[in-house]
Amino acid sequence: MNRSPKSESDLLYPRLELKPGTESWTIIEKLMIASHDMLLDKTIVGDLESMLEYGNVGGQASQTDCDKLSEGLISIAKQHGFPRHPNANQKRAADAEMAIYLHLNMRISRNEAAHEGVWNAFSCYFCPAVVAWRWSGAEDEEYLPASNEGKTSESVPISERWFTQSKSERHAFGRLWWRAELLRDENAKNPYWILSGLMEDELVQCAERGLFVTHREAVLALAKKHLEDYKGKTSRMLVFRSAIKSLRRMASLVDLDAAARNGTLEIMVGTCYKEALLRK
């Protein structure tokens, strides 16, 4: 399935809409405290199947299409330690590989990918085991690890890694697809070299700051500059954050779209990055 994201017609994917207090919400609470073995068995999510819906226009992805995607994600997770809890390096490597895999194989438009229900369906119905493996015990989540025994779902906070209603950039799978979409370098022999080269904090800075999501050329230019010019003499994370802050300040004075059109964007990004290196 190593096709170009645009080589075939885009598909519509099943959507799962979640609302507090509904039956689907209760099922998700149970998923978040289930063991990995249980999550690999479709029995635990069987009741969600009748709740899946599709968009109205376009060809629909079949159950087989979605199951194959799920199998691919599980295969990648197994290469990085699944079902054992992953370390930081395993998480980073798995994230990059899953992002590329989803982007290459989903055949999904940006419009369809913007529907939160698509990602809810993948995390909660098609591939919950990978979500539990990747995000159980995550330090930045009020999230109950799947390995905890004797817990009930009465007070389980639903993590945005499992479902999204407004922030697909935080979702376990949605964040990966959108990173690949944002950082794909069409002119490179390996279009995903930027995605694979950036560290987690740098990816978050790129994908979760609204200014840069709307100015793809700017974030690509800055990421390329960072990967090409960083020499390891100062804190990598602080340099990148400082460069982003400088570019955001400059963007308040200069139209980034106009800069991209007239060829001055890379010069502007270079100035911001040089200042960040000197500042740190």
How is 91-111 classified by DSSP, letter by letter? HHHHHHHHHHHHHHHS---HH
**pLDDT value at residue 148:** 36
Q: Give, in order, the Cα–Cα distances in Å from 92 to each of 82, 131, 223, 246.
A: 14, 14, 17, 27
pLDDT tens track for 17-48:
877 667 777 888 888 888 888 898 888 888 88
Band (140; pLDDT cuts 50, 70, 90) = very low
Share of the chain above pLDDT 90, in %: 49
Band (165; pLDDT cuts 50, 70, 90) = low
Q: pTM of the full predicted structure?
A: 0.85
Say if residues 207 and 182 touch (Cβ distance below 8 Å): yes
Residue 261, pLDDT > 60, answer: yes
Tokens 């995903």 sit at which residue? 192
Taking residues 149-176, what's their average pLDDT? Answer: 70
Q: Which residues contact 68 (CB under 8 A, 6 or more apart)?
A: 1
CA torsion sign for 7, 110, 100, 118 is negative
Paired strand residues for 15 = 53
Band (170; pLDDT cuts 50, 70, 90) = confident
Taking residues 160-181, what's their average pLDDT? Answer: 85
**First-to-last CA distance in the chain?**
44
Q: Give, in order, the Cα–Cα distances in Å from 95 to each of 34, 48, 100, 172.
A: 22, 26, 9, 9
One-letter amino acid for residue 14 of the chain: P
Distance, CA of 89 to CA of 101 (rounded, Å) = 18
Interior angle at CA 208, CA 205 and CA 98, nearest 5: 90
What average pLDDT does the structure give for the chain? Answer: 84
